[in-house]
Amino acid sequence: MVMEDVPPDSPEYRRLKLALKGANRGRDLVKQILAFSRQTGHDRKSLALSHIIEEALKLLRPALPSTIEIVWKSLTNHDEILADPVHMHQILMNLCTNAAHAMRQEGGVLDISLSRIVIAEGNPAPVPEMVPGEYLGLEVRDTGSGMTPQTLKRIFDPFFSTKKGEGTGLGLSVVHGIVKSYDGYITVESEPGKGSAFRVYLPKPRVLVRTEPEKTASFTGGNERILLVDDEDILVELSKQRLTRFGYRVEATTGSMDALAIFRKDPDGFDLVITDHTMPGMTGMDLAVELLKIRTAIPIILCTGYSETVSQERASRIGIKGFLMKPIAKEELAQAIRRALDGDPLPISTK
């Protein structure tokens, strides 16, 4: 938010950019580690891989310089796969960001394609030990720097990176780990100065029930009045600014008792309450119970940290309209607020 307020050519802007970069790197590292340690096969469902690719491209496109052209084509109509969408997203983001990085100086073409590959018994396969059957082939190709044979040998090693402090070196290890957990294969072809091509082969299950892809909702603000409670003053300050930018009128406090007093004084003065859960004095859940005693239908969104044990089921039983897990992304917050205000049914969010 501060970056939106300072001139882009100021030293402050550049420092903020560095701080943001550091924070994002921390986030990426945690994400990679979580993906790495994640139990396999938990959230597998039937999905269309082309949808995941399109989602990933939506995220990637704005982040890439205009000197990088993205070409994406699906060469098959049978792109269903039984997989965890988070895994597939990780594969794509890692391969594509590597490709983009390799082209960031000279520009080039990022070519993504999807095809169906059937390996018959006794026929040559892209990987000699490949089990015969039907596979979905994902190719991510770039016209970037390419790799020397020495680099190529080590790319799947955890923490191997040539990006001098800029990379975790976990990207391809994660990709490799995920592909293996699906009994898939990965190949690389690369030539220095010419570019690289990564190919992932994922076995297709024999029978699949197609499920609808999840809709991505757009986010909108509003001008309703919100009471905001969180015992961490930094979070209160940031959330207040964010909500104000969405257009809402916000009253914020760091104390749950205080929040209760404010609400009691003017129960109809608010359209929504957003509260943290773990707070000294009174928890968010207890606060919600008290607020609902004062005004039975007041929409409440409860926010919790990753390790806090709050049962979503209990929250909805009490009458809490929304449930968000920190850290809360901007879009997620905007959507949860609209849903709580517009009276859409639970659950608001699960992660």
d(CA 261, CA 103): 58
The residue of the chain with the least Cβ separation from Mg ion equals 171
Q: Does 186 bind ligand ATP (CB under 6 A)?
A: no
Q: Does 76 bind ligand ATP (CB under 6 A)?
A: no
Binding mask 212-231 for ligand ATP (x = CB under 6 A): --------------------
**Interaction partner, residue 64 (Mg ion, ligand ATP, none; CB < 5-8 Å by kind):** none
Instruction: Please say which residue, 51 or 104, places its beta carbon nearer to ligand ATP.
Output: 104
Q: What minimum distance in Å lies between the beta carbon of 22 and ligand ATP?
A: 14
Instruction: Please say which residue, 196 or 239, places its beta carbon nearer to ligand ATP.
Output: 196
Q: Which of 196, 239, 254, 304 binds ligand ATP (CB under 6 A)?
A: 196
Kindly give, in sequence order, each residue whose CB lies less than 8 Å from that of residue 87, ignoring residues fewer than 6 positions away. Answer: 35, 178, 181, 182
Q: Does 340 bind ligand ATP (CB under 6 A)?
A: no
Q: List, in sequence order, every beta strand (DSSP E) within 192-292.
A: 195-203, 225-229, 249-253, 272-276
Q: How many CB atoms lie within 10 A of CB 135?
A: 23
Which residue is listed with tokens 């994922």?
Answer: 202
Instruction: Please say which residue, 76 or 151, places its beta carbon nearer to Mg ion.
Output: 151
Among 307, 339, 306, smallest CA distance to 322 is for 339
Q: Does 162 bind ligand ATP (CB under 6 A)?
A: yes
Q: Which residues pair with 274 in a beta bridge?
A: 228, 301
Q: Does 203 bind Mg ion (CB under 5 A)?
A: no
- What's the CA dihedral at 268, 271, 277, 279 to 10 degrees? -50
Contacts within 8 Å (CB) and 24+ apart, 184-192: 184/135, 185/126, 185/127, 185/130, 187/126, 187/127, 188/152, 188/155, 190/146, 190/147, 190/152, 191/146, 192/145, 192/146, 192/147, 192/148
Task: Candidates 83-91, 158-166, 206-214, 309-317: pick the segment binding ligand ATP (CB under 6 A).
Answer: 158-166
Q: What minimum distance in Å lies between the beta carbon of 84 and ligand ATP?
A: 20
Size of the site for ligand ATP (CB under 6 A): 23
Q: Which of 108, 144, 171, 322 binds Mg ion (CB under 5 A)?
A: 171
Q: Which residues are at the interface with ligand ATP (CB under 6 A)?
A: 94, 98-99, 102, 142, 144-147, 151, 155, 160-163, 167-173, 196
